[in-house]
Amino acid sequence: MRRITISLLLFAGISWSANAQKDLTIDEIFRKPELNPVTLRQLKWAGSSSRVSWVAKEKLILHTIGKREAGSQAFKPDTVLSVAELNKDLKRFPQITWLDEERFAYSFKGNQIVFNWKTKQELSRLNFGEDAELTDFTEKQDKVATTKGNNLFVQVGSTVRNISNESNKDVVYGQSVHRNEFGISMGTFWSPTGAKLAFYRMDQSMVTDYPIVNIGTKPAEVNAIKYPMAGQKSHHVTLGVYDWATEKTIYLQTGEPNEQYLTNISWSPDEKYILIAVVNRDQNEMKLNQYNVSDGSFVKTFFTESDPQWVEPENPAVFVPGTVDQFIWQSERNGYNQLYHYNLDGKLIKAICPEQMIVTDFNGFDIKGKEVFVTVSENDGLQRNAWRISLKGKATKIQMANGMHRFQLNSEGTMLLDEFSSAEIPKTSVFNPYSALVKSADGKIELILQDSVDPTLGYNLPKPSIVKLNASDGSVLNGRLYMPKNMKSGEKYPVVIYLYGGPHAQMVTNSWMAGGNLWMSWMASQGYIVWTMDNRGSSDRGLEFEQAVHGRLGTIEMEDQLKGFEYLKSLPQVDPARIGVHGWSFGGFMTTTLLTKNPGVFKAGVAGGPVIDWSLYEIMYTERYMDTPEQNPKGYEEANLLNAAKNLKDRLMLIHGTVDDVVVWQHSQEMVKKCVDEGVLIDYMIYPEHPHNVSGKDRLHLYKTISRYLMDNL
């Protein structure tokens, strides 16, 4: 029997008085930032284990935990620096990096500036140039690595050295590689003291050029990008190491084959070694390798991880404080992302996490390096909590309120900054959707820095609820349901299903729904039931849940989404003849899948930036979940929506940005052509000069387009 549990969650406050409430407009969602809860901007530990800082009204605020006004329990933060005192040319307070108790660094017009807030004096200025595209500073801020074009430079003071002088535009230095998969977000890696710099060198000459047409010029211009599609040739990556003292560069001997992934780069504390998680092209084997920095030689493989579906390392090794030969490794080898304590001999000292724990973030060590603090996914992925775990394996849950927490650990591992969001019904009459707390390592609240009141009070917004369903294999599927307020007894209402459904995403959590997510509440206020559900394949639920989709994208996901559809049909308020679907990217793929493979079931759909044919999508992502087209022809054939275009009976609008370099425009164009060939009617909308996401001022236009289409057809 299908198990259904419903927990009421509050969206727009707890007190519903008889007073008249305003109706939210779609313009306000995207044009009224005050609808978002007020948070503490740049909240962080300020070079101290007990001092925090944030920015308010373009002023730097500091507070020492434990400091109180005489005779009062209230805390009084100190305003220590205005933006004008920092730099008269600045209008907004810049992003800062604390160096110690008094000094922080920030960037301005091609300069990295170190400033003392106490003396209000600029201490140093490193001019790296406004033409620098990417910058990476040492911890001491005394050196910077920059990229300009496809080349890499290192600078100390006014001395600039070319790490590369490459004229071939297909060879790129110091930039992110492998299309930002495997947790990769940058292409340079300073050693602990800043004496050496490791960097990626990427040769893309073997990768096919892909044309992106820019219509902003007369005539239009073609911008050729390197886009390796599934089954095609991939770029070749090596890792170089530059030594500032010797002015020499060596390359690590990462070996053959050239088409492999060099991921999760980490330095040993003594700067003698670099650790790399080397993943094969098939993404079913990973070797954690050690290399000697002095000559680039391969030292050894610590261990090999393999999986018939995929391996996906996303976090580099973290060395235990006070040691040069012990590190923590994150892995899903037992089905859940957990921590493993190793030494440099390659010996596993201990697997330190409790059984079935799912770690989502590694927050750091205590000052002695004996305990780690982690964020853990709990309650079927609906919430996050903090745990402290000793390297001997003793795990203690730090008691937190149910919801989504984001933590910052202080330098001594004694207190956590906790930015908390929840959608649960509160026990008090005032709902604080976001709270900024300081908590001791045992969970005791030391200080409430901020309670943000509900910014949507006074608006006529419906309440959402969390619904739990069961997939065919018994897995719990989390859904979020919005019902219109003041529903009339016996009346049937149309439904909008908003979905994503792909890996590395989770749509339904116990969190406050702000920003563009208010669109779902707004649609409910317009008389639509709105539903979102995370199917199997989505993240932070364990490897079995995530890998269920391997080799057949769109199949298991569709099966689960149809479970949600059946649940909706079972509700007496739902008109089953008026159910529509909307999603973007993987959600666009799922929307098109649902309508073409279930003709006559859904009334209408809007698919944004949709993948139509997985053989047109990039190697790193696609081959992890689908293998290559040669290895898995049946899976690609079944997932190819061109083959299902002839089945389309319902109203479907495709939307695409014309300079999309993630899901290239070819996907939706081929779908339109196939529909024309088959005599099938389809609707189409483009956003000229927009990439994968339509952002900025045009986002309101996008959502008005989506809303009108759904309203016209439901």
Active site residue 63: no
Give the C-alpha separation, 185 to 204, whole Å.
18
Contacts of residue 668, Cβ cutoff 8 Å, sequence gap at least 6: 607, 609, 610, 612, 654, 655, 656, 684
For residue 546, CA distances in Å to 2, 343, 489, 541, 557 come to: 21, 30, 40, 7, 11
Residue type, 7: S
Looking up tokens 């903090």 gives 386
Give the C-alpha separation, 63 to 41, whole Å.
14
Segment 212-221 long-range contacts (CB within 8 Å, at least 24 positions apart) = 212/659, 212/661, 212/664, 213/658, 213/659, 214/659, 214/689, 215/658, 215/688, 215/689, 216/689
Any idea what the Cα angle at residue 369 is, between residues 363 and 375, rounded to 5°? 20
> Rounded to 5 degrees, what are φ and ψ at 155?
-135, 140
Beta bridge partners of 364: 373
User: In this structure, what token pair is assigned to residue 228?
Assistant: 């390796």
Active site residue 712: no
Q: Are 184 and 177 in contact (CB under 8 A)?
A: yes
Q: Among 660, 667, 668, 690, which one carries the catalytic annotation?
A: 660
Q: Are 251 and 242 in contact (CB under 8 A)?
A: no
Contacts of residue 594, Cβ cutoff 8 Å, sequence gap at least 6: 558, 561, 562, 581, 601, 602, 605
Q: Are 567 and 614 in contact (CB under 8 A)?
A: no
User: How many C-beta neighbours within 10 Å does residue 143 have?
Assistant: 21
> Rounded to 5 degrees, what are φ and ψ at 153?
-135, 150
Give the residue from 250, 307, 311 showing the smallest Cα distance to 278: 311
Give the C-alpha separation, 341 to 533, whole Å.
36
Angle between helices 518-525 and 698-713 (to 10 degrees): 40
SS3 617: coil
Q: How many residues does the chain have?
A: 714
Active site residue 660: yes
Q: Among 7, 48, 692, 698, which one carries the catalytic annotation?
A: 692
β-pairing, 651-657 vs 683-687, is parallel
Q: Are 454 and 15 in contact (CB under 8 A)?
A: no
> Rounded to 5 degrees, what are φ and ψ at 645?
-60, -35
For residue 704, CA distances in Å to 35, 603, 694, 709 come to: 18, 19, 12, 8
Q: Among 234, 585, 668, 707, which one carries the catalytic annotation?
A: 585
Active site positions, annotated: 585, 660, 692
